Amino acid sequence: MNLVIVESPTKAKTIGRFLNQEGRVLSSYGHIRDLPEDKFGIDIKNNFKPNYTILPKAEETIRLLKKEAQGASLVILATDEDREGEAIAYHLTYLLGLDSKKPYQRIVFHEITKSAIEEAFKNPRKIDMNLVDAQQARRILDRIVGYKLSPFLWKKVARGLSAGRVQSVAVRLVAERETKIQEFIPQEYWTIEVLLKKLKNGEFKALLVKKDEKILGQLEIKDGKEAKKIIKDLKGAEYKVTSLEKKEIKRNPLPPFTTSTLQQDSWKKFRFPAKFTMKIAQNLYERGLITYHRTDSLNLSEQALFSAKKFIEKNYGKNYWAGFLRRYKTKIKGAQEAHEAIRPTYLDKKSSKLDENQSKLYDLIWRRFIACQMAQAIFDSTTVDISAKKYVFRATGQILKFDGFLNVFPMKFEETELPPLKKDELLKLIKLIPSQHFTQPPSRYTEATLIKALEENGIGRPSTYAPILSTIQEKNYIEKDESKKFRPTEIGFVVNDLLVSHFPKIVDIGFTALMEEDLDKIADGKEKWVKVCREFYEPFEENLKQKYEEVSKKDITEKPTKKKCPKCGGNLLIRLGKYGKFYACSKFPKCRYTESLKENVLGIKCPKCKEGKIVQKRTKKNKIFYGCDQYPKCDFALWDKPTGKICPKCKSLLIQTKRGQIKCPDKECGFELKKAENSDNITKK
């Protein structure tokens, strides 16, 4: 009997249904070997030779797989088709003694369906060492940066910090965006609209777009004074239709999903973080419901294209099919065109065992794929220019004529109907509407826009976007604001400034993108992994030695103040720790006095000890909580922000939850302030 090995138990179960009695399917439960956790694990002098060790969680699995492999006539490695999957397959051949003692085959497929599995079994191959080398090079480069640069941050900034080859670039994007927001100076500008009416009926608005035949730019009308002058000029003006243009506008459907666009859309529509989206997509793939979910390709198989055509014509009508097979080509550098985009494996099949979130994501993938093969949406568009003295106002109207792909994949669009107008028709002025505006700063990144920026800059690959975002949040370098947008933390700003100043290549967007291209070249057999590692390591190591000498910790982490230590009389410093700034005695370690900064003190007395004040703190895992500043003397703490008011029922501090509810933290009390109630009637603590 054959032994088939995959990396996931769910995948094993799905494949097992197709094999019947032809073979046994077992799982490796992910990676089985990696660099050691407690040491560097790379022999630099010996061509960067990695010292792999079996992961503790995999020891029992390896024993079972060895036993099963001995009794099997053939071992078939069916791990994922990307670099990580190839690396798992390689480590399995090494640990199970395949090829030398036991024959093996490597198979790959884009989807877990009966036809795809059967086709894969007909086309076995050996391990692709180019893919393995690319994965190994990435792992070694990441280990070099993490293992060598993190101790530098411990020594020069704070214990517990870490640096990452790709993560640090993502932090830089967020930090630089925040700097632009902080430095942004808003500019005032005005717009002038006119509300007009046909002499008989039909009101509509038009926007001032030209003066003296010159198009007005956004900032052309700089202030209210200029706006008033224009309105004065228009006094007694005749409003006349000077041009009327009607045309059809056609809107094309979006391409099928890649990893990046799936993560972006699931954030926009459901507010799913990238990591959560990938977890659900992994489950859908392993159940055989969608194609492989780590891809940057827009390719679609011929079978999928014809299935979509048949499905659309049968369920929506022939006029809803595009009339041709829509094929898409990615613009992303280094995209794996041999792979497929993310699509459903069966157009009329969906598991009834999906939970709510799985159903949402599956439905999104299904709709996007069907829509990408549908006809264009068609709009009737009307543009009207209206002259008034030396000014021209413009009104635009748009009406949906044929929904096409929008029938399946709804997207936002605005319908504006203009009354029927004729050239040279005179219109009645109802009123002029001047409006003041100010230019807006760039928006903070969301999960969707940060992933898009990473992809556009060539930072990371489909399998790394979600881990990048998770890591930089877990490390307390960035956090989400009230609108769920990313902003750098204090420590994120400091670490980014330090890396930009002293390790510019590590956080250089162009350099990191070139490294990704080098990894792609290794995967294609066009570059040697040892050469790539050496060219990175040697200048990095030399620069690191130099910076240990040049960079002073005091300059980065300490700022003197005029405040005195209440414990010993020494000067207090503003010191930077892993979780932000705080006051600390300059006589540390003799005096260990610390105090929260003003902005972290809520001004609420501790209800437990009656002496301390409630301050905002962070756990080791970077979760915000609120506790007494007299800790460890007083251990009062809350997860939700206290309001400063007390519960009328049990006298506890009322809290405000993340959803904005004001309630008592004591579940047995159960008091909750209804929105209609006046919170001023609740006693202030």
Catalytic residues: 292
Q: Do the bridges between strand 42-43 and strand 49-50 make them parallel or antiparallel, or are there none, so unpaired?
A: antiparallel
Is 534 in contact with 48 (CB distance < 8 Å)? Answer: yes
Alpha carbon separation from 232 to 56, 82, 628 (Å, rounded): 81, 68, 63
Give the number of C-alpha atoms closer than 13 A to the C-alpha of residue 135, restricted to the C-beta side: 21
Write out the H or E segment, with its range, that includes residue 265. Answer: helix 259-270
- Looking up tokens 């107008």, which residue turns up? 421
Residues near 346 by Cβ (< 8 Å), separated by ≥ 6?
113, 289
Pairwise CA distance, residues 85 & 79, whole Å = 5
Pairwise CA distance, residues 514 & 527, whole Å = 13
DSSP 660: S
Pairwise CA distance, residues 319 & 305, whole Å = 16
Between the two ends of the chain, the Cα-to-Cα distance in Å is 74
Six-digit token pair at 111? Answer: 């989807």
Q: What stretches of 122-222 adopt beta strand conformation (E)?
A: 188-198, 203-211, 214-215
Pairwise CA distance, residues 379 & 403, whole Å = 8
Write out the H or E segment, with its range, that includes residue 560. Answer: strand 558-564
Pairwise CA distance, residues 460 & 448, whole Å = 15
Long-range contacts, 103-106 (Cβ 8 Å, 24+):
103/74, 103/75, 104/74, 104/75, 104/76, 104/77, 105/74, 105/75, 105/76, 105/77, 106/76, 106/77
Cis peptide before 642 (omega within 30 of 0): no
Pairwise CA distance, residues 600 & 581, whole Å = 10
Residues near 204 by Cβ (< 8 Å), separated by ≥ 6?
195, 196, 197, 395, 397, 418, 419
Six-digit token pair at 263? Answer: 């993560």
Q: Helices (DSSP H) in 445-489: which residue ranges?
A: 447-456, 465-474
